[in-house]
Amino acid sequence: MYPQFCQFAKAAAQRVAVATGNPALSKARVPIEPPTSALVMSAGYAAGNVTPPMIPNVTANVLTRSPKGVNAPDATEVAKDTTTPFGLSILVEQGSCDPERYKVSGNSVGNSNTINTINTIITMSNCTIIPVPALQDNYMYLIIDNETQQAAAIDPVDVDAIQAAALTANATITTILTTHNHWDHSGGNLKLIRSTPTIDRVYGGVGDDVPGCTHEVTDGSTFSIGTKTNVSVLFTPCHTQGHVCYYVDNAHVFTGDTLFVSGAGNFNTGTPKQMTEAFDKILKLPDSTNVWVGHEYTAKNCAFACYCEPNNKEMKERLEWAKSRGSIHVGGRGTIPTTIGKEKACNPFARIDVLSVMEFCGPCVDVDDERAERMRLVR
């Protein structure tokens, strides 16, 4: 994958040099060794009106296909402390994918004519993850198999936006992954199926009555997207009776409305014990796992986390960070992804066995399951 990526970068940069009349742009710099990760960010633009992002400290900047209506080259190199007016940019930096190192302006909120600001982690292995904001605070996602460009759409409630993201990424949607049956996650399934003839599989949790579902899955179910991207299922009932999370490429987990950044979903159809078991499953994943959540609730979740553990310095820092980031849905930069390790440090629902959270809950007497009771009390 990486050698082909380098070849693409160099060839695309040469095309840019011809298009712009600037021969200096023909030399795309890429690391000699494959980076351990890469950061993808979008400039954010609507109806062909582009506001360029500031991109400091970039080893190489390679741009993918521009959105419909925007006449831009496929790729370019951007030197240190310069800007680019083009669309989705793949920022490749050796050994780092920290979004705090990149300052992007020109965010826009999406509809069928707008490409939203997107923060995407590329592992440079099997798949690309593209978050796509929807509604007031929802997140949809594209998982693109790098070898085939076949993609799965997760919770695609805004069909126009998810199709625009796929077009921009030159990906073909073949699969829908639904975390649960609530309308703001599954409400776009049937429309997307009708308008996208390449879709041949729709996954949802067993017993969750997901619209258009062709494959009901449960704990340990496995399948693939394209030829290289493997998916396994975590059955996490509580928010709904058939809620599932998707663990992708041994690197990413999509948690729907079970685990949020510093928060947890409502126990709508389940019990505190079920949510405790769901968190236990998710938290067994490696600390480095990227966690992609179903909603942008981070700032208010962090405020509650600080109330729960007022002496937790890391939680206070995360609250200030979340406030500074804001929501992509209203022109901010967003707070995804988090990681399993960060949630263990800053999510009170992931810390029910930590002394400070136990003290917040108080004594749990005359209960069969003290851990589940603490989960209830924190909620």
Catalytic residue among 180, 243, 252, 329: 180
Q: Which of 243, 252, 295, 329 is catalytic?
A: 295
Say which residues have a Cβ less than 8 Å from residue 271's Cβ, sequence separation at least 6. Answer: 238, 372
Measured CA to CA in angstroms, residue 125 lies from 34, 230, 248, 250 at distances of: 10, 12, 12, 11
Please give the C-alpha separations between residue 8 and each of 2, 29, 71, 150, in angstroms, as whole numbers.
10, 12, 19, 19
One-letter amino acid identity for 83? T
Q: Is 215 labeled as catalytic in the residue annotation?
A: no
Q: Are 133 and 111 in contact (CB under 8 A)?
A: no
Catalytic residue of the set 182, 243, 252, 329: 182
Residue 274 to residues 235, 281, 339: CA-CA distances in angstroms? Answer: 10, 11, 22
Q: Residue 329 gets which letter from DSSP?
A: G
Is there a catalytic annotation at residue 257? yes
Phi and psi (nearest 5°) for 60? -155, 145
End-to-end CA distance of the chain: 44
Interatomic CA distance for residues 106 and 54, integer angstroms? 10
Cβ-based neighbours of 49, under 8 Å, separated by 6 or more: none
Cα 311 → chain centroid: 30
Q: Catalytic: 243?
A: no
> Active site includes 252?
no
DSSP state of 67: P
HSE (side-chain half, CA atoms, 13 Å) at 332 = 18
Of the listed 145, 185, 208, 329, which one is catalytic? 185
Separation of alpha carbons 274 and 256, rounded Å: 15
Phi-psi group of 57: left, alpha or beta (phi > 0 → left; psi -120 to 50 → alpha; rest → beta): left
Q: Residues 155, 184, 208, 249: which is the catalytic one?
A: 184
182 among known catalytic residues: yes
Determine which one of 155, 239, 243, 329 is catalytic.
Answer: 239
Residues marked active site are found at 180, 182, 184-185, 239, 257, 295
